[in-house]
Amino acid sequence: MLKVITRCCQIKAWVVKKDEQERRGLREILNYGHTIGHGIEAAGRYTRFHHGEAISIGMLVASRLAYMIAMIAEQDLIRQKKLLEAIGLPTTAGSLSVARITKAIMLDKKFRGNKLRFVLPKGIGSVVISDKIRFDLIIKALKFQLKI
């Protein structure tokens, strides 16, 4: 695990160094899972999930969205879920309210011009930034991940 954490820190440092002032858009890739993750944190009143746990679930919602729009294969989605479970991170948010999560994400800094910005995987180790995800798909992905 120490090797994984070390490598993740190196990658994050490289990204931040390349886009220190957040002007190139590269740094935004570090927000993978955060759009929904912040909503999960808020819906749980910042006590139900730690930040990393909420982001874990948010990453899977983002992956589910990418799968739903045929950006990634189901095997990539399953692989990510198994990896997160293997390191002890949650992959569902149980009984949290979809309405409370969506209300919270509308207040997030990634909600601009009535659109949510998502970092979506297009393969293992590759992402795109999109604000073109339909709201009905976001709700569907959330409901699936929350097991509602």
Burial track 64-73 (b if 16+ CB lie within 10 A, e otherwise): bbbbbeebbe
pLDDT of res. 106: 83
Residue 105 CA to residue 119 CA, distance in Å, equals 14
Average pLDDT (42-65) is 95
Average pLDDT (3-24) is 88
| pLDDT digits 0-9 by tens, 74-128 | 999 999 999 999 999 999 988 888 999 998 888 876 666 778 889 999 988 899 9
> Which residue ranges form the domains of the chain, and what is each CATH number?
29-146 (1.20.1090.10)
In the predicted model, is pLDDT for residue 148 greater than 60? no
- pLDDT averaged over the chain? 90
Confidence of residue 25 (pLDDT cuts 50, 70, 90): confident
pLDDT of res. 88: 94
